[in-house]
Chains A and B, each alone.
Chain A
Amino acid sequence: KAGVTQTPRYLIKTRGQQVTLSCSPISGHRSVSWYQQTPGQGLQFLFEYFSETQRNKGNFPGRFSGRQFSNSRSEMNVSTLELGDSALYLCASRIQRSQTYEQYFGPGTRLTVT
């Protein structure tokens, strides 16, 4: 069974631009979560989607948004990019939200904002 895939793997953007990252969960997994990983802050939770609905949201500004499609694939969008948005963005999927607790991570998208 294929793992969690994220595209693109690397991205360079300029301040003020917007970016869209994509995540395809493991087949059959319906819950997708997004995390921002930086050296100083570690992993910080962005949001979780289940059945196309946002179920949880972390403490990030409204510039960070996401959505989930009917096939469970998810996208994350960051508008008006700032230098501080440079990070590794990780996506993780689970079969369901609360029944099982094992979460599988993708390889991440490395975003650099210049």
Chain B
Amino acid sequence: AQTVTQSQPEMSVQEAETVTLSCTYDTSESDYYLFWYKQPPSRQMILVIRQEAYKQQNATENRFSVNFQKAAKSFSLKISDSQLGDAAMYFCAYRPIYQGQFYFGTGTSLTVIP
């Protein structure tokens, strides 16, 4: 079964500090994509960052970076210099390379403290 687990339902971080959100997944596939999506209170889900499983180099997008450990099936998101606008629900997602279906974790609610 392909599952995505986010073990931290809630996290908080001081503004300008760094926070790491955890995600693990279970799959027997060797090729797949991993994603972090952000869902602010307005509810529009937006893509934060993506990682191709065949790439060893960790993806980075400005203040957002991932730590992808393929053998451990771990995919954590690091947010540096946290801003108030980063407050949202964050979802980790997985998609097998030859399928259209995405599998999502249950989400981590991030609070940014001024």
Pair from one complex: yes
Interface of B is mostly: loop
Instruction: Please count how many residues in chain B sit with their CB below 8 Å of the partner chain's CB atoms.
Output: 22
B25 in contact (CB, < 8 A): no
Residues in A whose Cβ lies below 8 Å from that of B100:
31, 33, 48, 50, 55-56, 94, 97-98
> When chains A and B are docked, how far (Å) is the Cα of A52 from the Cα of B33?
25
> When chains A and B are docked, how far (Å) is the Cα of A53 from the Cα of B95?
20
Q: Find A45's partner among B45, B91, B101, B106 (CB 8 Å cutoff).
A: B101
Residues in B whose Cβ lies below 8 Å from that of A56:
99-101
> When chains A and B are docked, how far (Å) is the Cα of A108 from the Cα of B45?
9
Residues of A within 8 A of B (CB): 3, 31, 33, 35, 40-45, 48, 50, 55-56, 58, 88, 90, 92, 94, 97-98, 101-108
